């Protein structure tokens, strides 16, 4: 059990620093909306990860391999992500015209939670990652449900705690950021989301054998 915890902690820490759209949105949310808003958004992300882990665990390998190897899912998720990035990019450009009058924004925490959940859930690559991780880690856990629950609970908890520290550090930057810099930050995050969406779409057109989940997780571990 102790060995499982020791293996899960560094992996959870590593996952918290994997570069993707969610990584940048968490930092942006912390800077622009505050600590609580960023944590709520992150909880939405974690909740979708929990569902993906459970789906991967309780489903057969063949079923999930077929699901993750459907190019249309990559194209669909990438299209949604790209569309979201474009919409937010254009919206933020429009908001820039009114930067002289800054009105405090009322934060909808339910909306932030759902936003975090959906932005993570539409990325089929997340499901492929968790599937690959279970394939690699599963044999070491001897198929023991208690060890599985402990390992992934510690992993996700470490992931979340690391995110909280990232949120705290990024929030401290807010005092040093002027409105124009914040606007540029938002535009940059939107551009990153668009790029990530395009990458997902491109993955959908790659040869099917390149989408093998076990190969992906092995490449990450190297």
- Which range, of 9-13, 82-86, 115-119, averages the lowest pLDDT? 82-86
Residue 69's pLDDT is what?
61
Please write the tens of the pLDDT for every residue from 134-160: 777 776 777 678 888 899 999 999 999
Please write the tens of the pLDDT for every residue from 172-214: 777 776 667 767 777 887 787 788 778 878 877 775 544 444 4
Alpha-carbon dihedral 71, 76, 77, 81, rounded to 10 degrees: 140
User: Is pLDDT above 80 for 94?
Assistant: no
As a whole number of angstroms, the distance between CA 201 and CA 127 comes to: 16
- What are the DSSP calls for 84-98, one per residue? HHHHHHHHHHHHGGG
Q: Where are the domains of the chain?
A: 2-221
Residue identified by tokens 């409105």 is: 179
Mean pLDDT of 41-62: 84
Tell me the average pLDDT of the chain.
76
């Amino acid at each position: 059990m102790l060995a499982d915890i020791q293996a899960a902690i560094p992996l959870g820490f590593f996952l918290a620093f994997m570069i993707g759209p969610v990584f940048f949105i968490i930092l942006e949310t912390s800077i622009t909306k505050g600590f609580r808003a960023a944590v709520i958004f992150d909880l939405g992300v974690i909740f979708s990860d929990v569902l993906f882990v459970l789906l991967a665990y309780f489903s057969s390998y063949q079923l999930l391999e077929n699901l993750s190897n459907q190019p249309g899912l990559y194209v669909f998720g990438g299209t949604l992500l790209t569309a979201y990035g474009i919409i937010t990019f254009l919206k933020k450009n429009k908001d820039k015209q009114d930067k002289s009058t800054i009105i405090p924004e009322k934060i909808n925490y339910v909306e932030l939670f759902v936003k975090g959940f959906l932005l993570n859930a539409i990325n089929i690559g997340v499901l492929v990652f968790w599937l690959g991780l279970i394939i690699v880690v599963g044999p070491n856990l001897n198929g023991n449900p208690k060890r599985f629950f402990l390992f992934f609970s510690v992993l996700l908890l470490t992931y979340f705690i690391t995110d909280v520290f990232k949120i705290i550090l990024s929030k401290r930057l807010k005092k040093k950021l002027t409105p124009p810099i914040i606007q540029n930050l938002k535009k940059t995050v939107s551009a990153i989301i668009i790029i990530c969406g395009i990458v997902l779409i491109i993955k959908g057109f790659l040869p099917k054998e390149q989408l093998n989940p076990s190969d992906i997780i092995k490449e990450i571990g190297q």
